Every structure is written in structure tokens, then in C-alpha cells.
Amino acid sequence: MENLCARTSRSPVHRRNYFNYFWSEKHSMNEARTYFGLSMHSVFGVSYLPSCLCLILIVLLSIPGPGNAAFASPVFVGPGQSIQEAIDRASAGDIIEIQPGDYKECINITKKLIVRGSPGQRAPVLDSDGRNSVISLLADGIVVEGLSVTGADNVPMSGIQVLSHKNVIANNTVKGNSVGIYVASSDNSIAFNKIEDNYFGGMILFSATNNSISNNNLFENNLAGIMLIKSADNTLAKNNASYNMGIGIKLYLSQGNDIHRNELITNDYGI
């Protein structure tokens, strides 16, 4: 900023004299003042030039780029309104903020969005009522947080199905679904979720790679708390997969996964 706003090596007097000489060849200085509507010092004097440059730079830096969530204003959705319609109208980088209440719908997130419950309030409940998976992630870079997800209780439905990459799923409650969270992609972060009472597993990774699964509580799910099928190079750390009617963490045809510091209590088998 100092470099952009610094004085040039030429003095203000030199620049004004140069302009005065150039203009005075054909016009009087009074004509110049009339033409520009300002004094010569205010237009060409150095006292205004740095301030103008700084102001222009600040304005340019303050213009949000496309998809810049730091400048995005939340789009609020309340009970009786459609979350899917808000998603369809949104642009990449927008925030969809869902107010507390019950929402009987399934949603497909097809853009890079933040979809969240209102911070500091009761989590909104999204219930698919057995029609389909509750939330499907179909674009990269999505954030889903602070939601309660239920009702996807028919096979092969899931509370949250992750079919795209580099998403964040955090601080959700996923309960009463066929599968709690289903992941068939890579480079996702799934953390601090409460996943319980899902009929065919709390979380299933299928042909999934390089995902981070951490600090989740997976209780009282059937078959397994977490199940990896044909999945590699995932990290499972600091999860509590306990009291499940089956195996805490199950691996099938999977290799190269880093599994450490998980708590596995009162399952039929730990791993």
C-alpha cells in the first residue's frame, strides 16, 4: 500500500509547471480551471493523487470475487419454505442458512455452497419421509453443518450421501436412516457428527480414498459403526464407535487406511 501511494521522484511543482507550460501554449489558466471545474492544484497537485489512488485500490479490493464466502450474505430459509428452491436460486459460494423447524424434503446440492443450520440455535430437522436420501452432495467443495437428518429409511437410501469431492460435513445429527453417511468419493472431511440408530451402518465408505473421518460419535447402529468397502488411504481418528449391534469399525477389501485413537466399546467386535 505504501508503494502504491508513494510520491513520485518528480516534485509537485515540476508536474504543475509542466502542465501549465503545455496548456498555456493555447489556453489561459482560467480556461483550464473552467474546463476541469476545479483548481489546477486539486486536479494535478500531489496532495490529492495518493488519496485517489488509495481510494481506488480499496474499492477494487472490496469487490467480492465469485464464490468468495467471506463476502456472501446468508440466504435464509424458514419453515414452510423450500430449501431446494433456495439452492436452485443460489450462486456458487452462497450461504444457505436454515432456520429451526421441520422440513419434509430431500435436497440435491449441485453447487459449491455452505448449507447450514442457524448458528447457536436448535438444528433444523430435514426428513425425507422415506422418499429418497435426505441430502445428496453432487458438487465439489460443499459445506454441510448444523443439521439434523432423518427419514431415509429405505434401501439404499442415506441420511447424507457424498458423491463429490473436497466437502466438509460437520456437527450434524444423522439418525434413523438406512445408512447414516455414505461416502463414494475422495478428499472429504467428516467430523464432529452424531450418527446413531441407522439400520445398515452409521457410516459406509465405498471405493473412497483420502478422506478424513474424525471426532464422530457413532452409537447404536446396526452392522457397524464405520464400514470401509474397497477403500484405501483414508484416515479414521478419534472417533467413538461404541454400542453398535455389530462391529465398531469394519474393513472389507480395504488397505492402506490409517486407523488410530478410536474408542470402540461394547460392540460385538471392535475392528
- pLDDT tens-place string over residues 137-159: 999 999 999 999 999 999 999 99
Task: Report the distance separating Cα 263 and Cα 63, nearest Å.
Answer: 47
Cite the DSSP H helix spans in 64-106: 83-89
- At residue 34, the pLDDT reads 38
Q: Position of cell 490529492?
A: 48
pLDDT score of 24 more than 70: no
Residues 6+ apart with CB under 8 A from 92: 66, 67, 111, 112, 113
Helix (H, G, I), strand (E, B) or coil at 109: strand
Residue 62: is its pLDDT beyond 50? no
Q: The cell 455414505 sits on which residue?
A: 182
70 vs 2, more confident: 70
Provide mean pLDDT across the span 32-51.
41
CB neighbour class for 262 (10 Å; exposed up to 12, middle 13-18, buried from 19): buried
Is the sign of the CA dihedral 253, 256, 257, 260 positive or negative? positive
Please indicate, yes or no, whether the overall pTM of this predicted structure exceeds 0.85.
Answer: no
Q: What is the pLDDT of residues 187-227, one digit of tens each?
A: 999 999 999 999 999 999 999 999 999 999 999 999 999 99
pLDDT above 90 covers a percentage of the chain that reads 73
Q: What angle do CA 89, 91, 94 make, to 5 degrees?
A: 105
Residue 109, pLDDT > 60, answer: yes
- Evaluate if residue 19 carries a pLDDT over 50: no
Encoded amino acid at 151, one letter: G
Residue 73 is predicted with a pLDDT of: 81
* 180 has a pLDDT exceeding 60: yes
Q: How far apart, in whole angstroms, are the C-alpha atoms of residue 97 and residue 69?
A: 13
User: Is there a contact between 232 and 206 (Cβ–Cβ < 8 Å)?
Assistant: no
**Confidence label for 71 from pLDDT (cuts 50, 70 and 90):** low
Q: How far is CA 185 from the centre of its chain?
A: 17
User: What is the residue-averaged pLDDT of the chain?
Assistant: 83
131 has pLDDT over 50: yes
